[in-house]
Structure 1
Amino acid sequence: MGNNWIDTVINEQYQFVRLLKRTDKTEICVFRHKELGKQIVKRTLKGSGEVYFALRTLSHPNIANVYDVVKTETGVTVLEEYVDGQTVADYLQTGLYSPSGVRKVISSLCDALDLLHSHQIIHKDIKPENVMIDSNGNVKLIDFDAARLYKPYQSKDTQAIGTMGYAAPEQYGINQTDERTDIYAIGVLMNVMLTGQPPEIRLYNGRLKRVIVKCTQTIPDNRYQNVKELKRNL
């Protein structure tokens, strides 16, 4: 995607570790500093990268840090924090979460999203693969490739992006996505963490059922209106 100073620094000071993901729009690789041993993630993607430029100015213990962003001929190159740990998806391969475990993870996610939403950033792709638990037990929200900045003057999104099953109805071009879109995905995530299935297949029947049902209402006005309200009801 074109040369820039980040490529120069990476080539001189870091060694390639592994490829994490490659699509027609994105390439994500892990590099290790040759002397210090610290690992970082280099992400190259097509598009404006406006969300990553916004993330560069923010810092939160539950969000993977964005260190720098550089424009290229066809997109942007991003240097970001490498999170050493496992995703919720990894954990679910060995078993389900307890209700208390779900509350801990979702509470931290709500804290991260509270900051993001206050800066008009909508993640749009909250799912088990994009929520990590690091080696210290801290929750980290990762992968903002599908994210967008909320624009009050728009009637609907310009791109329908998300993951089937976790994407709210408005993500399919009906209306513009907003913070309640992420709340919908959190509801699905909670149900999957507790049952291994999305709510339309097997709805969880414990105390958190009412939270899941409210999060996943088809009409955004019927969901929790912000993550603070959601967190209070966990």
Structure 2
Amino acid sequence: MKAAVLVFPGSNCDRDLAVAFRAAGFDTTMVWHKETDLPSGIDLVGVPGGFSYGDYLRCGAIAARSPIAGALKAHGDRGGFVFAPCNGFQILTEAGMLPGALLRNAGLKYICETSALRVEETESAFTQGYDRGQVIDIPIAHHEGNYTADAETIARLNGENRVAFRYVATPNGATDGIAGILSDNRRVLGMMPHPERASDPLHGGTDGAALFRGVAQALVSA
């Protein structure tokens, strides 16, 4: 199994994501934003958290138009797995790979804390290691985590069972408490919380580890 972690100027969770991928059994390569192709044979691409390009214009807007962005989109279009926490989620919405947008938190303040999430579906590789309705503790660290979409999009996400996680108590004003969503083929997950920061006992909790193991299991079973 092969994974790639994209690295942009301002990324600060790229190594965390690589460590989580490797712990789940992935041979992991870091890919600089100026590259135009992914390494051959990549199964999973990680789009990390941080502040890509300093969050200028809008969070994720420049990264979504970087040289590597075309290869990222092509990977998703051909059915490859993509996992994008925090700034990665912002990048995927800016790139049109996931619907909606991430706006400033309702309180207009940066939030850094552990947040309780409810697992809303277990029919994706990312969530198959959890029980539906299970509550997990995952760190959040963002200023623009307020997931927003029009009523039609929210209805479609709910109707197609594409809301992967919801906040138990919404910290940022996100519509319908949405913390993470899936693409229509269920192989792309964007979420504001950071499961890579809850995947080792030394982190103080391991509730995020099942997400990475789930993708690895899906690839082994394919």
- Compare CA radii of gyration and give the structure with the larger one: 1
* Richer in helix (by share): 1
Shorter-chain TM-score tier: under 0.3
Q: Could you state the TM-score of these two structures normalised by the residue count of structure 1?
A: 0.27
